[in-house]
Structure 1
Amino acid sequence: MLTKRKTAGEALFDGFNILGMLAICFITLYPIWYVLVNSFNDGQDAMRGGIYWWPRAFSMDNYVEVFKNPGIMTAMGVTVAKTLVGTAAHVFFTAMVAYAFSQRELIGRNIYLLMGTFTLFFSGGLIPFYLLIRDLGMLDNFMVYIIPFLFSFFDLIIFMSFFREIPGALKEAAKIDGANDFSIFTRVIIPVSMPVIATISLFHGVWQWNDYFVGMIYINNMDLQPIQTFLFRVVAQSSSSQIVAAAGGGVDRTVTSQSIKLATMVVTTAPIVFAYPFLQKYFVKGLMIGSVKG
């Protein structure tokens, strides 16, 4: 089989594309590599600079100092719990509301959609929201990570778009078998909606994992603060003595505030970085083939 030979212009265009993509990959990945390399380098040695590709004085002292703080494991547990519980609750609640909104016979549907669209552009602001959280008794409460974020109108739009593509024959068949609306939603709609559920789960799960603002504003109890708030407080420290004092250890001359910041950043971001590539495969649309026989 003969292949068409590229012209000089096409080869030049492909070359520029390849170089451009390599440049983008380098710009994106090198900061991560820089943080990783310096986190494994002796803190005092790293202050001299000049470390770009490999640790000059390899050391694990930064990570030892980070894990001396018992609060980091507590914060990690809080983050895992709020990510799992918050994501599951958000996806189920938002999907349930979206399914109702996707039914054209819903009374007042257009008014509700207009109200929801309004919230995409305008909000009450931080102070009214804080007062609401306080009056609901959710300050220093684990549920502050869950209840206020059960619903997202933006995610509802994504769910609705998917639900509208589901063949009506599925719901009609379930109704003939005597299923009510909730049974149809849980036993028919949810199983065939795994692509969009996985996508929204990934979006909200990454947000839950990376969020530090909620823990910083609404949580004063250190045992309820997530790992990203812990990271924020570590980065906010102005000297290594403050950090080491918080860890309950003595001053280590090989450790600096900057080296501990870098090590903490690696510890807190590594889990979601490793999990993300395995979840990418769920960004697939149109897996409805075979759900209806006809």
Structure 2
Amino acid sequence: MWSLKRKTTGEALFDLANNIIMLCLCFVTLYPIWYVIVNAFNNGSDAMQGGIYWWPRMFSLENFKAVFASPGIMLAMWITVAKTLVGTVTHVFFTAMVAYAFSRRNLIGGKIYILMGTVTLFFGGGLIPTFLLIKDLHLLDNFLVYIIPVLFSFFDLIIFMTFFRDIPEGLEEAARMDGANDWSIFLRVVIPVSMPVIATIALFHGVYQWNDYFAGIIYVNNPDLQPVQTFLYRVVAQSSSNQMITAVQGSNLVKSVTSQSIKLATMIVTTLPIVFVYPFLQRYFVKGMMLGSIKG
């Protein structure tokens, strides 16, 4: 039978204080997002008057029409989607491949490699040496600049390696008895049983690829290769807002949009896709982070 234990006054007050604090934190976290959404869906000229906090005063889609009327945003969106998909797949596969080799305890010089990789977690070459390296590799104004420099991550390798070491050795031994080589074991045995950690790393790197704007600013001058986050950066920096408004001059849009309203609408357009993807990977994310710590 269930026994119900009544809370003491101190415990009840403690729970009440916790709930109030958590509600305040949720409000402080979520309200700025809601404020951006509300103002993005409001008439830009009307929003200039202020006083819009909870709901659009003059609901309008003209801000989003102005965003999509810009000749560069759709191409930037395609570049972002392409670099996110290609970058995530190649990063996960390459890092997992190296981590599988590192997870073998009979790897010659394994401890030295681990030490060398650990140093990279704390020390980097800096922006100027990195730029010179990218230039010498002829990756400037090249789509591969989004892929090759982040093809491997030692931090992700540690997560992969920890998981791979917990895979029962009997699986690999059974595969070798059936004539499988290292590639076959990695592709047909290790990868299928490692989907939780793969989804975790894919989520990590996918979000990074989607949100990265720095590479587009430093390494890419060709506007046809700039991702949408770099496009958003230029909008926020007001270098493109006036161009976007100019692009819709002569139409009814210019009467109801402002540079500020276009910035807010662009933030929504560039943020929502990755927000929608996250819930589908969240269960794998949690499972992948926990499995390595609870296995014996």
Tell me which interval the TM-score lies in, with the shorter structure as reference length: over 0.9
Letter in 1 for 2:66: E
1:259 aligns with 261
Gap change, CA 1:244 and 1:32, over 3 Å in 2 = same
Q: Find the partner of 1:268 among 265, 270, 275.
A: 270
Letter in 2 for 1:260: I
Matched residues, number = 287
Gap change, CA 1:239 and 1:137, over 3 Å in 2 = closer
Q: What's the TM-score, normalizing by structure 1?
A: 0.93
Tell me how far apart the structure 2 counterparts of residues 272 and 240 of structure 1 sit (CA, whole Å). 23
1:211 aligns with 212
1:11 aligns with 12
**Secondary structure, in 3 states, of the residue corresponding to 2:263?**
helix
Q: CA deviation at 1:12?
A: 1.2
Gap change, CA 1:141 and 1:269, over 3 Å in 2 = same
Where in structure 2 are the equivalents of 1:1-294 lying within 5 Å?
Answer: 1-237=2-238, 241-245=242-246, 247=247, 249-250=249-250, 252-282=254-284, 283-285=286-288
Q: CA deviation at 1:249?
A: 4.0
* Contact 2:99/2:161 (8 A) holds in 1: yes
Gap change, CA 1:241 and 1:144, over 3 Å in 2 = closer
Letter in 1 for 2:245: V
RMSD over equivalenced CA pairs, Å: 1.6
Tell me how far apart the structure 1 counterparts of residues 109 and 123 of structure 2 sit (CA, whole Å). 21
Which sits farther off after the overlay, 160-169 or 248-257? 248-257
* Contact 1:240/1:255 (8 A) holds in 2: no
* Contact 2:67/2:244 (8 A) holds in 1: no
Tell me how far apart the structure 2 counterparts of residues 16 and 275 of structure 1 sit (CA, whole Å). 34
Tell me how far apart the structure 1 counterparts of residues 156 and 135 of structure 2 sit (CA, whole Å). 26
Q: CA deviation at 1:9?
A: 1.4
Q: CA deviation at 1:248?
A: 5.8
Q: CA deviation at 1:287?
A: 6.7
Which sits farther off after the overlay, 270-279 or 206-215? 270-279
**Secondary structure, in 3 states, of the residue corresponding to 2:287?**
coil
Tell me how far apart the structure 2 counterparts of residues 17 and 269 of structure 1 sit (CA, whole Å). 31
Q: CA deviation at 1:200?
A: 0.3
**Secondary structure, in 3 states, of the residue corresponding to 2:255?**
coil
Tell me how far apart the structure 1 counterparts of residues 236 and 165 of structure 2 sit (CA, whole Å). 46
Q: What's the TM-score, normalizing by structure 2?
A: 0.93
Letter in 1 for 2:43: D
Q: CA deviation at 1:220?
A: 1.1
Gap change, CA 1:41 and 1:77, over 3 Å in 2 = same
**Secondary structure, in 3 states, of the residue corresponding to 1:252?**
helix
Tell me how far apart the structure 2 counterparts of residues 212 and 240 of structure 1 sit (CA, whole Å). 17
Letter in 2 for 1:94: T
Give unpaired runs (5+ residues) of structure 1.
289-294
Which sits farther off after the overlay, 255-264 or 128-137? 128-137
**Secondary structure, in 3 states, of the residue corresponding to 1:132?**
helix
